[in-house]
């Protein structure tokens, strides 16, 4: 059983769009928190030197 087979059988386009939408919402929430919270930003900058 390959990944493409799993993707074709368990996801339709609606599921993929919902998954992407959820991912974007989580990413935006994290980014907003990162930008608005200096202490959190400093901690992330220490963990991720780039």
Identify the DSSP state of 16: H
Examine the pLDDT at 3 and tell me if it is beyond 60: no
Q: What are phi and psi of 2, to 5 degrees?
A: -95, 165
Answer whether residue 35 is part of any domain: yes
Answer whether residue 28 is part of any domain: yes
Give the confidence band of 1 by pLDDT, cuts at 50, 70, 90: very low
Examine the pLDDT at 8 and tell me if it is beyond 80: no
How many separate domains does the chain show? Answer: 1
Examine the pLDDT at 21 and tell me if it is beyond 80: yes
Answer whether residue 29 is part of any domain: yes
pTM of the model: 0.47
Answer whether residue 6 is part of any domain: no
Domain of residue 15, residue span: 11-47
pLDDT higher at 37 or 50: 37
Q: What are phi and psi of 27, to 5 degrees?
A: -65, -45
Q: Is the distance from CB of 34 to CB of 41 less than 8 angstroms?
A: yes
CA 11-13-15 angle, 5° bins: 55
């Amino acid at each position: 059983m390959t990944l493409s087979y799993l993707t074709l059988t368990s996801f339709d386009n609606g599921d993929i769009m919902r998954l992407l939408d959820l991912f974007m919402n989580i990413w935006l929430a994290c980014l907003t928190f990162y930008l608005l919270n200096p202490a959190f930003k400093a901690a992330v900058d220490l963990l991720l030197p780039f």
